[in-house]
Amino acid sequence: MIDRKLTGEFFKYAIVGASGILVNLFFLYTLTESVRVYYLFSEIFAFLVATLSNFAFNKVWTFKEHMRENFVLKGIKFFLVAGFSLIVNLFFLWFFTEFAGIYYLLSQVLASGFTLVTNFTGNKLWTFRKI
C-alpha cells in the first residue's frame, strides 16, 4: 500500500523543485549570457539561489514546519544534501552540453531530473525527519 502522506510530500517536493528549476534557469541564463560567466560557474551560483528558495518552500509547505523551527540546523542539512546534488548536477550539465551537444539550458533541465529522488530521500530521511 502506498503511503498517502509520503506521496503528497513527494508531489509537493517535485512542485517546489520545478519552481527551483525556473529560478535556476533564470540565473544560469542571466549570468552566462548577460554577464558572460562560464556556464558551469553560473550554475554554481544559480544552484545556490534556487536551493535557498527551495529550502524555505519545502520547510514550510512540503514538510509543514515553522520557519523558526531548527532553522540553522535544518538549513545546514538541506545544503549538505544539496551539495551532493550540485556535484551530480554539474557532471550531467557538463556531460550533456559538451559530449551530447545539447544546449546548456536544456542540459540543465535534464541534469535536474537526476537529483529529484536523491534530494527528496535525503531531505525526508535526514533534514526533515520527525523524531
Domain ranges in the chain are: 4-127
Read off the pTM. 0.87
User: What is the pLDDT at residue 102?
Assistant: 98
User: What is the pLDDT at residue 129?
Assistant: 85
User: What is the pLDDT at residue 53?
Assistant: 95
* pLDDT, average across residues 93-99: 97
Of 97, 98, 115, 117, nearest in space to 107 by CA: 97
Q: How many CB atoms lie within 10 A of CB 90?
A: 16
Q: Which residue has the cell 545556490?
A: 48
Q: Is the pLDDT of residue 1 over 60?
A: no
Give the DSSP H or E segment for 82.
helix 71-94
77: left (phi over 0), alpha (psi -120 to 50) or beta: alpha
Would you mind telling me the total number of residues written for the chain in this entry? 131
